[in-house]
Structure 1
Amino acid sequence: MARKHFFLLAVTSLLICSAVADWNILHQRKKNNVVSGSGLKKYCESWRINVELNNIRGFEVVPQECIGYIGKYMSSSQYKADCERAIEECEVYLSSCCDSVKGGEGKDAWIFDVDDTLLSTVPYFKSHGFGGKKLNLTSLEGWMENCKAPALDPTLRLFHKIKGRGFKIFLISTRRESLRDATVDNLIKVGYHGWSGLILRDLSDENRRVQHYKAEARQKLVKEGHNIWGIVGDQWSSFDGNPKAKRTFKLPNSLYYVS
């Protein structure tokens, strides 16, 4: 009897694990045969929204059926409007919470991501399948070295507003240290200047999870006495871990996932 009970428990556990591993909106939709016609647009919109909600994590490529949809969204006025709205909320927070900062001791800080927060990689992905192909890091870094990434205009505006209020601005990026000169040149070229620190990954950070690398960078800032009022980024891994900012603001990005 005990042996039979153990066998049933083992089978049940296996089925549960299989169900968890298999849970994916794409898989479920295919099983139910609803990814077709008008249902495809709804599915792709659902996939995009669940990426933004951080329900879908760790994806390596955009679902094949949704490449066209995601490409249109990331190139659209709606994407620009969504970014603008997020930045407007950031500006509301800035105007309502931080009057005491101006003229302070210079230890109040904001943090920005670089790619798809300050600079846009959409032009690169437009020429490389809009996330439908597994990322070729060598190719992407070659594009970054050419300093052709445009600014996200709402974030450029916010950057200078925050700087004008007396905050220290720190840029924490997943870019490698070897891209420092190109990154600085690109940022200045499109209108960013006056940040207090640009933190890039060195060799010791190569194999670390992004959320741990960025959390440790924040820890160093806090140990130096900085108060982190806000973080603006396009990836959830930019906000995970401690210490946390008083507020975080996420920009949309359905092209890739960085953990």
Structure 2
Amino acid sequence: MAAKALLLLALVSLFLGLAAADWSILNQKYWRNNNNAKAADTLKSYCESWRMNVELHNIREFQVVPQECVDYIKKYMTGSQYTADSERAIEEVKLYLTSCCSLQNDGKDAWIFDVDDTLLSTVPYFKKHGFGGQKLNLTSLEAWMEECKAPALEPTLKLFNELKDKGIKIFLVSSRRETLRSATVDNLISAGYHGWSSLILRGLDDEYLQMQQFKSEARKKLVDQGYRIWGIIGDQWSSLKGPPKPNRAFKLPNSIYYL
């Protein structure tokens, strides 16, 4: 009898616990069965929090966007807020440039750009491939890159030209493989980018390197050549972290994938 009583008490406690926390953010059945404004607002808040913590680099090395947040990320990346956030980041770069740099005009003042989702947008690709809800298929993505259809991110294109007009040497350091060089150059030119000093891609010897290590080593080679790196702009933390550090690093938003 005592055992039955304890079992009943445990079941009651479990039921009350579930009732007190009557939903889980990961419980898809809850969202299907509770299509109300409060539930929608809570899910939106959760997904915005997830996205923000990706940008803050608290969430790292994720392979897919949480399924319940895919629609939210899609709306963000194709909507006005993504554009506004990108424009705001570029405005901060321009504000920094008003007072940051004692340019020597000796050909050694430098700036580094990432390529994908910094100069060129992969959003058209992810519109057809799940907006991060599917594990990244590199073969499929590279086949799309070969088509040279990625559009420019307009705020970054304007910044690119302003830096070039100031006499700053522009270096592009990308996670793309060396086999994509021709397609990348063609796509950059067709999107309006001209006059960069060097495009650094991953060769066969770089395949074993972690992304941050590859980009750090690329920066070190430039510093060893005497370049003063006044800034970096990219959409991935691996583009910005690690030595040698520039004067400033600026991150553009991207919650679709992590490199």
Q: TM-score, normalised by structure 1?
A: 0.85
- Which whole-Å CA distance do the structure 1 matches of 2:196 and 2:158 have between them? 14
> 1 CA distance for matches of 2:44 and 2:91?
28
Q: Which amino acid aligns with 2:196?
A: W
Partner in structure 2 of residue 199 of structure 1 = 200
Aligned to 2:72: 69
Q: Is the 1:34–1:40 Cα contact (8 Å) retained in structure 2?
A: no
What is the CA–CA distance in structure 2 between the aligned matches of 1:207 and 1:135, rounded to whole Å? 19
Structure-2 change in CA distance of 1:34 and 1:217 (3 Å): farther
Which of 87, 94, 110 is equivalent to 2:90?
A: 87
Provide the C-alpha distance between the structure 1 equivalents of 2:86 and 2:201, rounded to a whole number of angstroms. 24
Q: How many residues align?
A: 228
Residue in 1 that maps onto 2:143:
142
Residue of structure 1 in register with 2:42 after alignment: 39
For 2:165 and 2:236, locate their aligned partners in 1 and report how far apart those are by CA, in whole Å: 26
Contact 1:212/1:241 (CA < 8 Å) preserved in 2? yes
Structure 1 residue 79 displacement after superposition? 0.3
Amino acid at match of 2:86: C
SS of residue matched to 2:112: strand
Aligned match of 1:175: 176
Equivalent position of 1:220 in the other structure: 221
Distance in 2 between residues matched to 1:219 and 1:153, nearest whole Å: 29
Q: Which residue of 2 aligns with 1:117?
A: 118
Could you say which residue in structure 2 is the equivalent of 1:244?
245
Partner of residue 209, structure 1: 210
SS at match of 1:96: coil
Corresponding residue of 1:60 = 63
Structure 1 residue identity aligned to 2:166: R
State the alpha-carbon separation in 1 of the partners of residues 115 and 190 from structure 2.
Answer: 14
TM-superposed CA distance for 1:53, in Å, is 0.4
Distance 2:59 2:73 in 1: 15
> Which 4+ residue blocks in structure 1 deviate beyond 3 angstroms?
28-31, 33-37
Report how far residue 104 of structure 1 moved. 1.4
5+ residue gaps, structure 2: 1-23, 32-38
- Report how far residue 207 of structure 1 moved: 2.1
CA drift of 1:34 comes to 9.0
Seen in structure 2, the aligned counterparts of structure 1 residues 184 and 44 have a Cα distance that, compared at 3 Å, is same
For 1:212 and 1:65, locate their aligned partners in 2 and report how far apart those are by CA, in whole Å.
33
Q: CA RMSD in A?
A: 1.5
Given the two structures, how large is their TM-score scaled by the length of structure 2? 0.85
Shift of 1:37: 3.5
Q: Percent identity?
A: 68
The equivalent residue for 1:13 is none
Preserved CA contact (<8 Å) 2:26 2:68 = no
Indicate the residue corresponding to 1:23 in structure 2.
Answer: none
- Counterpart residue number, 1:6: none
CA distance in 2, matches of 1:53, 1:219: 25
Q: What is the CA-CA distance between 1:96 and the residue it aligns to?
A: 1.7
